[in-house]
Amino acid sequence: MVNMGNNVVWEFPKLPSFGIDSIQALERENKEILWGSMIKQTLKRRKPGFNESYYGFSSFSDLLEEAAKRGQLDLELDEKSGGYIVLGTK
């Protein structure tokens, strides 16, 4: 958290490296579509104690959105399901 005068600005950390590793592992498995939920499941298998709230996010989608804003990965919103598809990492 950074105090900017009267305004408090929250600083979010980078997507944890094990998150990027999980995405890349799924890419190597040639998964056709990398759903955000698949990535979270993989993260939980690799690091059972993973919880996005530890990193300051209320949902895993919020974490993915922030990582995309920071240029760490490319996302696409699936209109039908409302979930995110991860197109790749940077």
Its domain, for residue 85, covers 2-89
* pLDDT at residue 16 in the model: 60
HEC string of 9-45 equals: ECCCCCCCHHHHHHHHHHHHCCCCCEEHHHHHHHHHH
Per-residue pLDDT of the chain (90 residues; tens, 9 = 90+): 333 444 444 454 555 666 777 888 888 888 788 999 998 998 898 889 888 888 888 999 998 898 888 888 899 999 999 999 998 877
| Total structural domains within the chain | 1
Domain of 85, CATH number, reads: 1.10.10
pTM: 0.74
